[in-house]
Amino acid sequence: MLERRREALAASSSVRAWGGGPAAADDERRAEALCRAVAPLLARRGFPGTPLGLRSLAAAARAAGSQRAAASLGRLWHAAPEPAPLILAPAPPAAPSPPGGAAARTLVIAFASLGWHGLVRAEWAATLRDVAADEGLSAVVDVAYALDTACSWFTTDPITGVYDDGAWWEATLRELCAPYERVCLLGESMGGSAALRFARHATPTGAVVALAPQVDLRDFACCGRLDFSDDRKVRLHDAILAAVDDARAPVTLHLGRDADDLQQLSHLARHLPALAAAFEAAGEQADAP
């Protein structure tokens, strides 16, 4: 089943226009296909082989204090080698070495956003695949896709579902990044927030790139979890700013102009004076660009 899923992923195009994304009907077909694939397994556990049965299995496991059912389903969805919220895709063994010696290994961690239609997915695969295939590249690129299917802005332990203010991710990313000479972080929206939150893991020769990140979730409508309290949101806000202060790599922010982005920009500008200065140097005011 995993091999068939890998073939389907390799054959599909994941390139999308900015502001686009998969249509709802496409995601419905994908979800139905996953349900059909696991229906026999559901039946063995007493659950109906329907989308409701699939959700019931994941919800029952979560209520029992485990996210492993969701992680296992995620393994099938993303064709990952193991059920985990962090999917490492090593560079192909045949990746060419640069002239003059062996290639330095680079790790890119791509943090997922909330996704579309309720499906959190591995993002940036097509873009990063194209970068890794660049003939002039002087490093072998491994990619790790980080997914927060709990939609908690990476503040929960993805195995237990318990809020830990990002401690599980801190420890896991520290271990993952340790062997690499160069580490880069990338993300959009919720993923952009994570790229900033864990910015200290990027190496001085790497980079942190955050597109339309959120810093203060207290006025962000898309954060819909009722158990995500204001106290937790404040701790996330403080952790993001502390991590950016500790960052050893250059931090690049790309900010939009819709209402949500403008709200977040006001938070960023207050706490990151360099950002406000950049907007002013461009002839714009950071509080009303």
Q: Which of 231, 230, 284 is nearest to 257 (CA)?
A: 284
Question: What's residue 115's pLDDT?
Answer: 78
Give domain status of residue 120, yes or no.
yes
Question: Which two tokens mark 40?
Answer: 């026999």
Cα–Cα dist 246/243, whole Å: 5
Q: Which single residue is written with the structure tokens 């089943």?
A: 1
Give domain status of residue 207, yes or no.
yes
Give domain status of residue 31, yes or no.
no
Question: What's residue 249's pLDDT?
Answer: 95
Give domain status of residue 182, yes or no.
yes
Global pTM value? 0.77
For strands 251-254 and 182-188, give the pairing.
Answer: unpaired
Edge-to-edge strands, sheet with 207-211: 86-89, 139-146, 104-111, 182-188, 207-211, 251-254
Give domain status of residue 8, yes or no.
no
Give domain status of residue 36, yes or no.
no
Residue spans of the chain under pLDDT 50:
11-19, 98-101, 135, 289
Question: What's residue 98's pLDDT?
Answer: 47
- Domain holding 216, by residue range, is 85-254
Question: Which two tokens mark 270?
Answer: 């207050």
Give domain status of residue 273, yes or no.
no
Number of domains comprising the chain: 1
Question: What's residue 25's pLDDT?
Answer: 73
Question: What's residue 101's pLDDT?
Answer: 46
Give domain status of residue 77, yes or no.
no
